[in-house]
Amino acid sequence: MVEIRPYRAEMSSIVPDGMYREPENYSELESEAEKAIAHCQEVFGIETDFAVNLAETDTSGFDPQEAHPGNSFMGFSAVEGMRGSEEDQIFIRATTEVDYWRAALKDMVNHEIGHQAWCQTGFDPTRSQYFNLRFEGHAMNFAERVNNKKSYSWSTPERTSERPQVDTEQLLIDLEQRRCWKDSEGVNLSKQLFLTGGDRYRWAEGYRIAYQVVRCVTQSGEIGIGDLPTLPNERWREVCESTVKDMYG
Averaged pLDDT, 117-139: 80
Averaged pLDDT, 147-154: 94
Same-domain status, 111 and 138:
no
Say if residue 195's pLDDT is above 90: no
Same-domain status, 35 and 113:
yes
124 in any annotated domain: no
The pLDDT score that the predictor gives to residue 83 is: 59
Helix, strand, or coil (residue 224)? coil
The pLDDT score that the predictor gives to residue 29 is: 98
Same-domain status, 188 and 219:
yes
The pLDDT score that the predictor gives to residue 202 is: 79
More confident: 118 or 104: 104
Same-domain status, 147 and 241:
yes
Task: Tell me the pLDDT tens digit for each residue of 45-56.
Answer: 877 778 999 999
Instruction: Domain of residue 241: give its range.
Output: 129-248
Last residue of a domain, one of 119, 151, 167: 119
pLDDT category at 78 given cuts 50, 70, 90 is low
The pLDDT score that the predictor gives to residue 13 is: 84
Indicate the pTM of the whole model: 0.92
Same-domain status, 21 and 66:
yes
Q: Number of structural domains, the chain?
A: 2
Same-domain status, 143 and 65:
no
Same-domain status, 177 and 87:
no
